[in-house]
Amino acid sequence: MTDRMPEPPPRACRDCGETLPHAEFVKARGGVSSCCKACRGKRAARHRRNYYAGLPADKRHTLTHKRRADAYGVPHEEYSRIAVAARWSNTCAYCPAPLDHMDHVHPLSRTEDATEFASAGLSVGDVEGNVLPACRACNLSKGALSLAEWALRDFPPPF
């Protein structure tokens, strides 16, 4: 004699209408859903898209970059990308091209020399004082280099 409980009968998903095994309807915390795992995933993705689409551009930026700054272990402060762009007349800080990106003067990924940068009184992390508008060409060529490293590599001294 076995002590196993009988397998619950298959269920029909309310979203896609497919009849699937009961296990496809069990949630992570043990509850049972009225739609299958695949449909729950699609619903969650649709909700995230709609939620972020309804936010102002600056708020979307704040949420995205806060996660990125936390991942690198650097500070994050809310700032307006629109205000930074307006302060620079919507042009690249490094050349006269129109802006496409925002560049971190001291890259977020360069945490090893962040304390040296901060001790010199310069802004570190995803904060307004560390962000400049940049065109695509300048931002992508600078990459994760500091401003000094990038300047020496792309614009060597004439002597």
Clarify whether residues 94 and 43 are in a common domain.
Answer: no
Judge whether 132 and 88 are in contact, CB under 8 Å: yes
Clarify whether residues 42 and 81 are in a common domain.
Answer: no
In a domain, 101, yes or no: yes
Q: How far apart are CA 125 and CA 108, in angstroms?
A: 6
Clarify whether residues 41 and 91 are in a common domain.
Answer: no
Taking only the tens place, the pLDDT of each residue in 97-125 is 999 999 998 888 887 766 666 666 667 78
In a domain, 58, yes or no: no
Domain count, the chain: 2
Identify the domain containing residue 99 by its residue range: 75-154
In a domain, 139, yes or no: yes
**pLDDT in 10s for each residue of the chain, 159 residues:** 557 778 888 999 999 999 999 888 888 777 888 899 999 999 999 998 899 888 887 888 888 888 888 888 888 888 888 899 999 999 999 999 999 999 998 888 887 766 666 666 667 788 888 899 999 999 999 999 988 889 888 877 775
pTM score above 0.75: no
Residues 6+ apart with CB under 8 A from 79: 127, 128, 131
Judge whether 19 and 11 are in contact, CB under 8 Å: yes
Clarify whether residues 81 and 47 are in a common domain.
Answer: no
DSSP conformation class of 1: -
Judge whether 125 and 108 are in contact, CB under 8 Å: yes
Spell out the SS3 assignment of 62-104.
HHHHHHHHHHHCCCECCCCHHHHHHHCCCECCCCCCECCEEEE
Judge whether 76 and 127 are in contact, CB under 8 Å: yes
In a domain, 29, yes or no: yes
pLDDT, residue 139, reads 93
